[in-house]
Amino acid sequence: MPVKKLNEFLDSHSIKYVVISHSRAFTAQETATSAHIPGKELAKTVMVKMNGKMAMAVLPASCKVDFDLLKKTTEAVTIDIANEKEFKDLFPDCEIGAMPPFGNLYGMEVFLAKTLTEDREIAFNAGSHRELVKMAYKDFERLVKPKIVKFSVEIK
């Protein structure tokens, strides 16, 4: 079962979604493999500090954040990757590193890699290292209202 906050939010908006259980995995690529989902179709959430403020950078599991590109496209003065100590308390209902990309539920902006808009569905961590939620991309965009920018590059 996804974290209560996410589950209630999706249900209150009558969103159709499926929960995918998988073997415990910690990296996005391991999660994609465990859940039998291509890495380019699984969204991972990277916590960043933009101008000192916490935000979510959401991109395919098969990619990494290009911080120079993110800085340029968002016109941020500073961008740093956040460490777990800085954000763990912001997601008390989630396992560390398994937060869903719903910044709107946690009071923060979401920057979404443009490549994730190309698929009909989006899958992401549901608050644990054992479950994913898969739903229509159009519903995700309507609910989260992410800022869609180009900032990801394929991991080589």
Domains observed in the chain: 4-147 (3.90.960.10)
The reported pTM is 0.92
Break the chain down into helix, strand, coil percent, rounded to 5.
Answer: 30, 30, 35
What are the pLDDT digits (tens) for 65-117? Answer: 999 999 999 999 999 999 999 998 999 999 988 999 999 999 999 999 999 99
Task: Provide mean pLDDT across the span 127-148.
Answer: 95
**To the nearest whole percent, how much of the chain has pLDDT over 70?**
99
- Is the pLDDT reported for residue 1 higher than 70? no
Confidence band for 141, pLDDT divided at 50, 70 and 90: very high
Task: Provide mean pLDDT across the span 114-139.
Answer: 93
* Tally of CB atoms within 10 A around 28: 23
pLDDT of residue 67: 95
User: At residue 60, what are phi and psi to the nearest 5 degrees?
Assistant: -65, 150
- Is the pLDDT reported for residue 128 higher than 70? yes
Task: Determine which helix (DSSP H) or strand (DSSP E) holds 139, and give its type and residue range.
Answer: helix 137-144
